[in-house]
Amino acid sequence: MKTILITGCSSGYGLETARHFHALGWNVVATMRRPSAAPLTASDRLHTLALDVTNPDSIALALERAGPIDVLVNNAGIGLFGALEHSPMQKIRDIFETNTLGTIAMTQAAIPQMRARGSGVIVNITSTTTLAPFPLAAAYTGSKTAIQGFTRSLAHELAPLGIAVKLVEPGYGPTTAFAQNTEIRLEDVLPEPYWSYAQPILAGMAEPALFTTEADVAKAVWQAVHDESGRSHFPAGADALALVA
């Protein structure tokens, strides 16, 4: 029975991916900063662990407690929506520390055991903001675009070792906490003249014609993990699929 470790499982894509793999018979290690916050019921095949992907000691301890893993899913991330001019630089640093450096640190820490076994899959969850410009998300897009390039290069580096590296690219997920965990009020990052520009964008986000659900991402991760064709990109969600079409 294979084991998957998923970061950022307290809600959203990570939570649903943990449930999906568990329901299909996998051992699941669901990690998050505060395990008590996750609506998951522990079982003999589902374990929750504390993990802060920005803390090297936390990463090392979580991987030690998880034991051997076959798949790593780098899902932990935070969003930031607003005008770059008014986005606090510390929050931008936080975005890159979690979304970019956290993904790189988790990957680096998981490689040795996969290399020793000669097998493994690493799935990095990014965003369709990396495929087409999305307004008022410059810092967030930058943090995810860096992982696109990182993944493409790393896939070549690890393929001879038997390790696959994949990208899952969700579209807009209105039911997720995309920007709720940045502790920034929208009015603070969208003063005039940006507010007038942002209004129709926000209206479109409130009633999107196409969007991505948590289940869409969980299914795309499953597909990426089981892919044997060498495919590297897995768009997730109706809007993501429409974009790449």
What is the set of active-site residues?
A: 140
Measured between alpha carbons, how far is 212 from 4 in angstroms, rounded to an integer? 23
| Joined tokens for residue 190 | 């969208």
Residue 27's SS3 state is: strand
From the list 101, 108, 126, the residue with the least C-alpha distance to 234 is: 126
Q: Where are the beta strands (DSSP E) in 75-205?
A: 120-125, 163-170
Q: Where are the beta strands (DSSP E) in 51-162?
A: 71-74, 120-125
Which sign does the torsion angle of CA 180, 182, 188, 192 carry? negative
First to last CA, the chain: 36
Residue 218 DSSP label: H
Backbone angles phi and psi of 204, in degrees to 5: -65, -35
